[in-house]
Structure 1
Amino acid sequence: MKLIYSEDHRGHAGAMEMRYDEMIPMSECPERMDAIMGALAEAGFTDIVAPNPHGLDVVHQIHDPAFVNFLERCYPLWEAEFGPGHFATAYTFGMRGMDQVPNASVHSMLSCYTFDVCAPFVEGTWKAINAAKDIALTGVDLMQAGESAVFSVCRPAGHHASQDLAGGYCYLNNAAIAAQAHLNAGSSRVALLDIDYHHGNGTQRIFYDRADVFFASLHCRPQDEYPFLMGYETEVGAGEGKGYNLNLPMPRGTDYAEWGKALQIALDRIVAYAPDVLVVSLGVDTFEGDPVGGFSLQSPDYVDVGKRLASIGLPTHFVMEGGYAMDALGKNVTNIITGYSEGAAEYSAGTDRK
C-alpha cells in the first residue's frame, strides 16, 4: 500500500493545551508521525509518496473560504500583535446571542472560527494544514490512477473541523475533502467511516444534509466524552441526507467484543449503501492505554479491524486521525494496515476463485 506523507507537519509544534484542570503539552505532536512511519517501515510498508500540491478549489467545496483564509492568516496576525515565539488561541468563543461575524481583529476571528482551546496556531501551523490537505488529495489522485487502497498519513487530523469551525486538534477536514474529491473524480457515492474514539462532529455537520456521502461514526457516547454535544443515535441526517448519517455511540470502557458489533453494523450499512469508494477516518485512540481515550481495545484487535474493513471489497482510502498512546501508536496503526492488506489479498483470492 502506498503511504502519502510529508515532513511539512513538523512546524506545527510547541503549543500547549488545556486538559480539564491543567495546561499541558499538546498530545497531538510531531513525534506521533515518527512512531507511525517507523512502525510501518518496520512492517515492510516503505512505498512512500510525497504529496503533490493542490489548490484550494476542493477545500472551498467543503469549507467556508473566509474560514480557510483565517487559517492561513491567523498566526501572522497574532505575531504582528505579540511578536514571535507565542502560540495563538482563542480567549472567548462565539456563543448564542453573540455576533458570529468576525471583525479585523485576530481575537475576533479566533472566537468565531474555533470552538475549543485545542486548535492552537504556531508559525508552522498553516504549512502543516496545507500539507495534510495535499496528502489527502494526492491519495485521491493515486486511487484514480489505479491504486485500490492508499493511506494518507495526515497531520494535523481533521474530523472535528466543520465548514467554518476548527477544534479538537483539527483545522481542515482532510477526510471530507478526500470524499469530495472522489465525487469530483467520478464516484457517484462515497462512504466515510470514522473509527476514531471521538465523534466525527465536523464530518457529520459537513455531510448531514447530503445523500452522496454516507457517514458512519463509532465513538464514545456524548454523555461521557468530547465533543459532548453531538454523536447521538438520533442524529440520522436531514433533508436529502436523512438516513445517511449513522452514529454508534458506546460507553467508556467498551471492549473489542462490543466495539466489533458496532463495526459490523456500520459495515453492513455501508454495503447496503453500495458506494464506489470507502474513506476511513483512521483513529486508534480506542486503544486501552490511550491518554485521550476511554475504550479498551488491544493491539491485536486492530489486525482484525483491518481485515474486516477489507472484507467488504471496496476501494479504500485511509486518512489519519487520532491516537496518542505513543508506545503503542505505531503498532496499532500498522496492525490495521497489515490486517487490511492481508484481508484484501484474501478477498481478491476468493473473488478470483469465483
Structure 2
Amino acid sequence: MKIVYGDGHRGHAGAEELMYNRMVPMFEKPERMDQILRQLGRTGLTEIHVPTVHDLAAVHRVHDRRYVRFLETVYPRWVAETGIEGFATAYVFGMRGMRQTPGDSVQAMLSCYTFDVCVPFVAGTWTAIKEAVDVTLTAQALVAAGAHSAFALCRPPGHHASQDLAGGYCYINNAAVAAQAFRDHGAARVAILDVDYHHGNGTQRIFYERPDVLYVSIHGRPEEEYPFLMGFADETGAGAGEGFNVNLPLPKGIGWGPYGEALALGVARINAYRPDVLLVSLGADAYKDDPVSAFRLESSDFGRIGKAIAGLRMPTLFVMEGGYAVEALGINIANALTGFLEA
C-alpha cells in the first residue's frame, strides 16, 4: 500500500476546545500522526510518499470559493482586527433567519462559515489544511494511475466540512475533494464508506443530490451523538440522489456484533452500486477507549473492518479522519490497513 504523508500539519496545534463546561486541549493534535507512523513502520508499511503541491482547482470543485478564501485568510484577519494572538474561534453562529453573507468583519466570517467551537484557527492552520488536500490528492492520483490502494495520512480531518461550513475539527472535506477528482478524471461512479464514529454530515451534504457518488456511513445515532441534526436512517438522498445516501446509525455501547452487521449491509450496498473506485473515510474513534465516542470496538475489530473492505475487490483510497485515543490509534489504523492487505 502506498502511503502519503507530510509534516506540514504540525503548526496546527496549541488551541483549545470547549468540552461541556470547560476548555480543554484539542483532542485533534499532531501526536496522532506520530503514533500512526510509528505503528505503520512496525508492521512493515513503510512506502511513504511526499505529497505533491496542488493548486486549489480541485478544492473549488467541491467548496465555495469565498469559504476557501476565508480559511486561507481568517487567522491574519483575526489578529489584525482583534489584536489577539493565540487562536481564533466564533462566539456567534449563523442561524435560520440570519443573513448568511458576511461582510469584512472576521467575527462575521467566523459566524457564517463555522458551525461549532471545534474548528479553531491558529497561525499554522491554513498550512495544515492545504497540505491535507495535497496529501489526499497525491494519494488519489496514485490510485487513479493504477495503484491497488493508497492511504492519505492527512490532518486535519475533513468529513464534517461541507461546501461552505467548517466544524468538528474539519475545514476542507478531503475525501469529497478526492471523490470529485476521481469523477473529473473519468470514474463514472464513486463510493465513499465512512467508518468514523461520527456521521460525516459534510460529505452527505455535498453529495446528497447526486447519483454519481454513493455515500455510506456507519455512526452513532444522531439522537444522542454529534453532529445530532444529521445522520438519520431516513436521509436517503434527494432528487437525482435519492437512494444514494445510506446512513446506518447505531446506539451507544455496541460492540462488534451490531457493528459487523451494519458493515455487511454497507458493503453489500457498495457492491450493488458497482463503483469504479472506493474511498474509505477511515476514522478509528469507534474504539472502546476513545474519549469522544461511545462504541466498544476492540483493536482487533479494525482488522475485521479492513478485511470486509478488501472483500469488495475495488481500487481503494483510505483517507484519515478521526480517532483520539492516541496511545491505541496507531494500532487501530495499522490493523485496518493490514486487515485489508492480508484478506
Q: Same fold (TM over 0.5)?
A: yes
Q: Who is 2:186 aligned against?
A: 186
- Whether 1:165 and 2:158 are equivalent positions in the alignment is no
Q: What amino acid maps onto 2:80 in structure 1?
A: A
Correspondences of 1:1-354 after superposition (within 5 Å): 1-83=1-83, 85-343=85-343
The one-character-per-residue Cα deviations of 1:152-175 (angstroms, maximum 9, x if unpaired) are 001000000000000000000000
CA distance in 2, matches of 1:116, 1:260: 31
How far off is 1:216 after superposition?
0.4
Q: Compute the displacement of 1:86 (Å).
A: 1.5
State how far apart, in whole Å, the 1-side matches of 2:334 and 2:77 are. 39
Q: Aligned letter for 1:268? A: A
1:269-306 CA-partner distances (Å, limit 9, x unpaired): 00000000000000010000000110000001111111
Identical residues among aligned pairs (%): 58
Instruction: Give the equivalent residue in structure 2 for 1:351.
Output: none
Aligned mates of 1:193, 1:301 — CA distance in 2: 16
For residues 86 and 107 of structure 1, the distance between their equivalents in structure 2, rounded to whole angstroms, comes to 15
Question: How many equivalent pairs are there?
Answer: 343
Unmatched runs of 5 consecutive residues or more in structure 1: 344-354
| Distance in structure 2 (CA, Å) of the matches to 1:50 and 1:293 | 32
Deviations 1:69-128 (A, max 9, x none): 000000010121334632000010001111111010000000000000000000000000
Measured in 1, the distance between the counterparts of 2:73 and 2:249 equals 36
SS at match of 1:191: strand
Distance, in Å, in 2 between the alignment partners of 1:284 and 1:256 is 14
User: Runs (4+) of structure 1 moved beyond 6 Å?
Assistant: none
- Range with greater deviation from structure 2 (135-144 or 315-324): 135-144
CA distance in 2, matches of 1:216, 1:120: 28
Rounded to whole Å, the distance in 2 between the matches of 1:146 and 1:62 is 24
Whole-angstrom CA distance in 2 between matches of 1:237 and 1:53: 34
Distance 1:328 1:91 in 2: 34
Q: Distance in 2 between matches of 1:27 and 1:326?
A: 9
Q: Read off the aligned partner of 1:249 and give its amino acid letter.
A: P
Q: In the alignment, residue 29 of structure 1 is paired with which amino acid?
A: K
Task: Please state how far the C-alpha of 1:144 moved relative to its aligned partner.
Answer: 2.1
Give the Å deviation of 1:141.
Answer: 1.0
Find the aligned partners of 1:19 and 1:30 in 2 and give their Cα distance.
Answer: 19
Separation in structure 2 between the aligned mates of residue 155 and residue 222 of structure 1, nearest angstrom:
25
How many angstroms apart in 2 are the aligned matches of 1:340 and 1:118?
31
Q: Equivalent residue of 2:61, what SS?
A: helix
Structure-2 separation of matches of 1:80 and 1:263? 48
Give, in angstroms, the shift of residue 44 of structure 1.
0.7
In 2, Cα distance between equivalents of 1:147 and 1:312: 16
Deviation of the 1:254 alpha carbon: 1.1
User: After the TM superposition, which of the residue ranges 90-99 and 198-207 deviates more from structure 2?
Assistant: 90-99
TM-superposed CA distance for 1:220, in Å, is 0.1
Q: Look up the match of 1:348.
A: none
Q: Distance in 2 between matches of 1:83 and 1:97?
A: 31
